Structure 1
Amino acid sequence: MKKWWSAAAVLVSLLLMSLGMTVCAAESTILKGITIEGVDVSGMTKDEAMNALTAYEAKLGEETLTLKIGDQTLDAPLSSFGVTYSNEDAVTSALQVGRTGNVVKRYKEQKDLQHNGLNYTLSRTANEEMVQVYVQDTCTKYDQDAKNASLTRENGEFTFVPGEEGREINVDSSVRAIVDYLENDWTDGENFLELPVQVTKPEGSAEDLAYVKDLLGSFTTSFSTSSADRSKNVNSGAKHVNGTVLYPGETFSMYETVAPFTAENGYAMAGSYLNGEVVDSMGGGICQVSTTLYNAVLRAELEVVERSPHSMTVHYVELSEDAAIAGTYKDFKFKNSTEYPIYIEGYTTSDKKITFNIYGKETRDSNRSISFESVLVNEVKPNTILRDDAGQGLGYKNVSAGKTGYVAELYKIVKVNGVQTDRIKINKSTYKGSDRVVTYGTAGDPTLSENLRAAIAAQDEALADANVAAANAAAAAAAPVQ
Structure 2
Amino acid sequence: MKKKQFISKILIYILLTFILSGPINSMAVEEPIVISQEIYVNNINIGGLTKDEAYQKLKEELNKFIEEKKINFELENISFSAPYSAFGVFYDIDSAIKQAQQYTIDRLNDNTSVTSPYYIELPMSYNENLILDYASSVSSKYSKLPVNAKLEYVKDYVVIKKEEYGINIDEIELSTNIVLAILNLDESVKVPYIKISPEITSEKLSKSNFKIAGFSTPLKSLDANRTNNIIIAANSINGYIIKPKETFSANKAFGARTKENGYKDAPIFVNGKVEPGLAGGICQLVTTLYNTVLYSDLQVIERKPHGKAVTYVSPGRDATISGNAIDFKFKNTTNYPIYIQTYVDTKKKQVTVNFYSQMPSGNTKIDISSYVYKKTSTHIYSKTYKKIYVNGKLTKTVLVSSDSYLR
| Contact kept in structure 1, 2:135 and 2:171, CA below 8 Å | yes
The alpha carbon displacement at 1:194 in A equals 1.3
Give the superposition deviation at 1:303: 5.7
Mapped to 2, the partners of 1:423 and 1:256 lie a distance apart of 28
Q: Which one of 341, 349, 366 corresponds to residue 352 of structure 1? A: 349
RMSD, matched Cα:
5.4
Q: Is the 8 A contact 2:383 2:399 kept in 1?
A: no
Q: CA deviation at 1:141?
A: 2.0
Q: What is the CA distance between 1:93 and its match in structure 2?
A: 1.9
Measure the CA separation in 2 of the matches of 1:141 and 1:158. 33
Structure 1 residue 232 and structure 2 residue 228: aligned?
yes
What is the match of residue 76 of structure 2? 70
Given the alignment, which residue of 266, 273, 293 partners 1:271?
266
1:220 deviates by 2.7
Q: CA deviation at 1:346?
A: 1.9
**Aligned match for 1:107, one of 108, 112, 115:** 112
Partner of 1:386: none
Instruction: Tell me the secondary structure at the aligned position of residue 231 of structure 2.
Output: helix
Q: Any gaps of 5 or more consecutive residues in structure 1?
A: 1-15, 376-380, 382-403, 434-482
Deviations 1:51-79 (A, max 9, x none): 96499559836853221111112223434
Relative CO higher for 1 or 2, CA cutoff 8 Å, sep ≥ 6?
2
Q: What is the aligned-residue identity percentage?
A: 22
Gaps of 5+ in 2: 1-20, 373-377
Q: 1:195-248: per-residue Cα shift (whole Å, max 9, x none)?
A: 1233345643457524532x4333333442242233234234434544455554
* Number of aligned residue pairs: 369
* CA–CA distance in structure 1, aligned partners of residues 323 and 350 of structure 2: 22
Structure 1 CA distance for aligned equivalents of residues 385 and 122 of structure 2 = 79
1:275-286 paired onto structure 2 within 5 Å: 285-286=281-282
Q: Is the 8 A contact 2:215 2:291 kept in 1?
A: yes
- Residue 199 of structure 1 aligns to a residue whose secondary structure is strand
Q: Matched residues in 2 for 1:313 and 1:55: separation?
A: 84
Map of 2:338 onto structure 1: 342
Matching of residue 43 in structure 1 with residue 50 in structure 2: yes
Q: TM-score, normalised by structure 1?
A: 0.56
Q: Secondary structure at the match of 2:80?
A: strand
Equivalent in the alignment of 2:143: 143
Q: CA deviation at 1:249?
A: 5.6
Give, as a single letter, the amino acid of the residue that structure 1 aligns with 2:123.
L
Shift of 1:423: 4.6
In structure 2, do the counterparts of structure 1 residues 153 and 273 end up closer, same or farther at CA, with 3 Å as the change threshold?
Answer: closer
Q: 1:18-55, CA deviations, whole angstroms, 9 ceiling, x for partnerless residues?
A: x98x9599725644544544666542249x83996499
1:29–1:420 Cα change, 3 Å? same
Cα distance in structure 2, aligned partners of 1:410 and 1:84: 81
Contact 2:55/2:94 (8 A) holds in 1: no
What are the equivalent positions in structure 2 for 1:141-220 lying under 5 Å apart? 141-154=141-154, 156-182=156-182, 184-186=183-185, 191-201=187-197, 203-205=200-202, 209-213=206-210, 215-220=211-216
TM-score of the pair, normalised by structure 2: 0.65
Closer, same or farther: CA 148–117 of 1 in aligned 2, 3 Å: same
Q: Report the counterpart of residue 13 of structure 1 in structure 2.
A: none
Matches within 5 A, 1:355-394: 355-361=352-358, 363=360, 366=363, 369=366, 371=368
1:89 aligned to 2:89? no
Which whole-Å CA distance do the structure 2 matches of 1:149 and 1:54 have between them? 55
Pick closer, same or farther for the CA change 1:272–1:167 going to 2, 3 Å. Answer: farther
Equivalent residue, structure 2, for 1:122: 123
Residue of structure 2 equivalent to 1:297: 293
Return the offset for 1:99: 0.9
Q: 1:424 to 1:138 in 2, by over 3 A?
A: same
Distance 1:175 1:373 in 2: 66
Taking a change above 3 Å as real, the CA distance of residues 198 and 225 of structure 1, as seen in their structure-2 partners, is same
Partners of 1:370 and 1:415 within 8 A in 2:
yes
